């Protein structure tokens, strides 16, 4: 029995227990959330792993990392190291975005190494294999796509980005309105090109029930890919994006009816003044299922620093209800991330997540805030180390801190004499 069926029949699964315990909430709250679809638990039936997490309403916001091989960078050992770095830095899941090299081998390597939930984007492999075996992307068939999805599900992926919320109505809207950046989603580009050249509807939309059957069979969480996400702040909340969100909402309803766990992937480039609106539209149109966002990037003009633009947008999005933040590394818009980029990406996004968890008044996070603040007042070094989300830089600076405590300390001590501490 999968998570949603269990939840709807009133049963508690082992995974619900783990999630309830780690989030410090009642298991009934988790069961209800899974039953309604406001919480997902990515956990493929065929894959055992150490770390289970829930994503959605009333829980800590979660962080996803990305990596994978490309055709010109077949570096499976490096991707294995990135996975380890990302897990050590505290990501809750990751996605393998491989588009080249030994895609199957890479996925299997990651599944065997990862202790957290793992996702993928099957259309990449289907598209790349069509190019390799049939000479071009356009020759890819509907069966190619679904067979790849089933293969990846059988391998054990816990969630999949599937670009099913893309159809001719949306493409015609895009063509009519125009855009600064057209289609920037890779999966969205694959499918748009395929649809227009073949003059056929998107198989993932047209044969959505076929997709749901696979998701359900393996209990894979369907992450409805944001095929036409804005690639520039200027394109945010345009007609095509909203139509995409409405189609995603219709498909979400069908997924929920079939007992398939589902979340919605979101942008992308979103100016600060659109963030609240974007989240509230998604929640309303998509039946309050979790929102998994790529960013948001709050400005377009900071290539090399998109870990920061993403932390800004992600924190604000979380405040208004985003549930799951995909990391951005400094390499976004520049190239593939190296190991240090991966680490920086997870750290930056986790800091945004912590800011959100405070605003959500999550007790265990508030306790750490309190502890580190008291430790500062009391010059308690160990207390600061124990409660820092990333204590390394603090530890490395201890020598300097001790050196500069003269004037500040004298003044503080004068003042502190007169206060009850705490």
Site residues for a second copy, window 336-395 (CB under 8 A)?
336, 347-348, 351-352, 354-356, 358-359, 366, 368-370, 372-374, 376-377, 384, 387-394
Under rule CB under 8 A, residue 418 binds a second copy: yes
Under rule CB under 8 A, residue 335 binds a second copy: yes
Footprint of a second copy on 150-179 (CB under 8 A): 171, 174-175, 178-179
Q: How many CB atoms lie within 10 A of CB 21?
A: 12
With contacts defined by CB under 8 A, how many residues of the chain interact with a second copy? 109
Q: Which residue has the tokens 């600060």?
A: 272
Work out how close the CB of 231 gets to a second copy at its nearest, in angstroms, rounded to a whole number.
Answer: 7
Work out how close the CB of 222 gets to a second copy at its nearest, in angstroms, rounded to a whole number.
Answer: 22
62: left (phi over 0), alpha (psi -120 to 50) or beta: beta
Choose between 120 and 271: whose C-beta lies nearer to a second copy. 271
Q: How many CB atoms lie within 10 A of CB 268?
A: 25
Work out how close the CB of 236 gets to a second copy at its nearest, in angstroms, rounded to a whole number.
Answer: 10
Choose between 274 and 287: whose C-beta lies nearer to a second copy. 274
Footprint of a second copy on 92-131 (CB under 8 A): 99-100, 127-128, 131
Choose between 50 and 407: whose C-beta lies nearer to a second copy. 407
Under rule CB under 8 A, residue 410 binds a second copy: yes
Choose between 154 and 412: whose C-beta lies nearer to a second copy. 412
Question: Of the candidates 181, 179, 188, 184, which has an alpha carbon nearest to the alpha carbon of residue 137?
Answer: 188
Rg (CA), the chain: 22
Give the Cα separation of 307 and 407 in Å (integer).
Answer: 36
- DSSP-assigned letter for residue 297: B
Under rule CB under 8 A, residue 267 binds a second copy: no
DSSP string, 257-319: HTT--EEEEE-SB--HHHHHHHHHHHHHHTTT--EEEE--BS-SS-TT-HHHHHHHHHHHHHH
Q: Which listed residue (6, 137, 162, 256) binds a second copy by CB under 8 A?
A: 137
Choose between 40 and 195: whose C-beta lies nearer to a second copy. 195
Work out how close the CB of 309 gets to a second copy at its nearest, in angstroms, rounded to a whole number.
Answer: 6
Choose between 57 and 269: whose C-beta lies nearer to a second copy. 269
Question: Of the candidates 69, 151, 147, which has an alpha carbon nearest to the alpha carbon of residue 337?
Answer: 69
Strand stretches in 188-227, DSSP E: 221-224
Under rule CB under 8 A, residue 237 binds a second copy: no
Give the Cα separation of 50 and 216 in Å (integer).
Answer: 22
Work out how close the CB of 278 gets to a second copy at its nearest, in angstroms, rounded to a whole number.
Answer: 13
Under rule CB under 8 A, residue 311 binds a second copy: yes
Residues 168 and 193 sit within 8 Å (Cβ to Cβ): no
Choose between 12 and 168: whose C-beta lies nearer to a second copy. 168
Give the Cα separation of 34 and 41 in Å (integer).
Answer: 8
Footprint of a second copy on 4-63 (CB under 8 A): none
Residue-level length of the chain: 422
Q: Which listed residue (38, 223, 252, 309) binds a second copy by CB under 8 A?
A: 309
Give the Cα separation of 204 and 177 in Å (integer).
Answer: 24
Choices 28-36, 155-163, 189-197, 257-265 (CB under 8 A): range interacting with a second copy: 189-197
Under rule CB under 8 A, residue 78 binds a second copy: no
Q: Which helix (H) or strand (E) holds 252?
A: helix 239-257
Q: Which listed residue (249, 259, 271, 295) binds a second copy by CB under 8 A?
A: 271
Question: Of the candidates 3, 61, 7, which has an alpha carbon nearest to the alpha carbon of residue 32?
Answer: 7
Under rule CB under 8 A, residue 303 binds a second copy: yes
DSSP string, 63-114: EEEEE--BTTB--HHHHHHHHHHHHHHT-SEEEE---SSSHHHHHHHHHHH-
Under rule CB under 8 A, residue 141 binds a second copy: no
Footprint of a second copy on 196-235 (CB under 8 A): 196-197, 231-235
Q: How many CB atoms lie within 10 A of CB 242?
A: 15
Work out how close the CB of 136 gets to a second copy at its nearest, in angstroms, rounded to a whole number.
Answer: 8
């Amino acid at each position: 029995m999968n998570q949603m069926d269990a939840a709807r029949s009133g049963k508690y699964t082992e995974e619900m227990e783990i999630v309830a315990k780690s989030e410090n909430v009642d298991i009934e709250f988790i069961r209800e959330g899974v039953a309604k679809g406001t919480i997902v638990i990515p956990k493929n039936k065929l894959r055992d792993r150490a770390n289970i997490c829930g994503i959605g309403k009333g829980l800590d916001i979660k962080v996803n990392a990305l990596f994978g091989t490309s055709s010109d960078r077949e570096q499976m050992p490096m991707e294995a190291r990135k996975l380890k770095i990302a897990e050590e830095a505290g990501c809750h899941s990751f996605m393998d975005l491989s588009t080249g090299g030994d895609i199957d081998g890479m996925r299997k390597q990651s599944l065997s190494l990862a202790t957290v939930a793992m996702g993928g984007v099957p259309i990449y492999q289907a598209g790349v294999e069509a190019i390799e075996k049939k000479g071009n992307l356009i020759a890819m068939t509907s069966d190619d796509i679904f067979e790849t999805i089933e293969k990846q599900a059988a391998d054990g992926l816990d969630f999949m980005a599937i670009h099913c919320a893309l159809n001719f109505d949306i493409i015609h809207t895009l063509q009519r309105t125009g855009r600064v950046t057209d289609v920037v989603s890779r999966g969205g580009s694959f499918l748009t090109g395929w649809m227009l050249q073949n003059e056929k509807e998107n198989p993932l939309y047209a044969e959505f029930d076929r997709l749901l059957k696979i998701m359900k069979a393996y209990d894979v969480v369907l992450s409805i890919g944001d095929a036409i996400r804005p690639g520039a702040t200027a394109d945010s909340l345009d007609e095509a994006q909203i139509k995409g969100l409405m189609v995603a909402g219709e498909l979400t309803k069908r997924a929920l009816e079939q007992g398939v766990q589902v979340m919605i992937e979101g942008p992308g480039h979103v100016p600060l003044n659109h963030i609240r609106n974007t989240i509230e539209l998604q929640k309303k149109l998509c039946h309050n299922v979790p929102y998994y966002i790529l960013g948001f990037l709050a400005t377009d003009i900071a290539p090399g620093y998109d870990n920061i633009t993403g932390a800004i947008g992600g924190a604000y999005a979380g405040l208004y209800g985003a549930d799951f933040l995909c990391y951005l590394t400094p390499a976004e818009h520049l190239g593939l991330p190296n190991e240090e980029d991966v680490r920086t990406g997870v750290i930056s996004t986790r800091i945004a997540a912590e800011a959100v968890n405070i605003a959500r008044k999550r007790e265990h996070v508030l306790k750490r805030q309190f502890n580190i603040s008291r430790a500062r007042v009391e010059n308690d070094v160990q207390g600061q180390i124990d409660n820092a989300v990333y204590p390394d830089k603090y530890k490395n600076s201890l020598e300097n801190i001790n050196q500069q405590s003269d004037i500040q300390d004298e003044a503080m001590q004068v003042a502190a004499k007169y206060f009850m501490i705490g």
